Amino acid sequence: MDKMILKGMRFYGYHGVFPEENRLGQQFYVDLELVMDMNKAAETDDLQYALDYSALHAYIKGIVEGPPFKLIEALTAHVACSVLEHYTMVNEVTVRVTKPHPPFDVHFEGVTIEMHRKRADYV
Mean pLDDT by 10 residues, the chain (123 residues): 97 95 94 98 97 98 98 98 96 96 77 94 67
Predicted TM-score (pTM) of this structure? 0.93
Q: What is the CATH number of the domain that holds 100?
A: 3.30.1130.10
> Is residue 92 classed as helix, strand or coil in its secondary structure?
strand
The answer to whether the beta carbons of residues 94 and 32 sit under 8 Å apart is yes
Active site residue 99: yes
Is there a domain that residue 39 lies in? no
Provide the terminal-to-terminal Cα distance of the chain, rounded to the nearest Å.
Answer: 19
Annotated catalytic residue within 61, 70, 99, 118: 99
Is there a domain that residue 90 lies in? yes
> Is residue 35 classed as helix, strand or coil in its secondary structure?
strand
- In order of 25, 32, 51, 104, the CA distances from 55 in angstroms are 24, 14, 8, 35
Task: Count up the domains in the chain and report the number.
Answer: 1
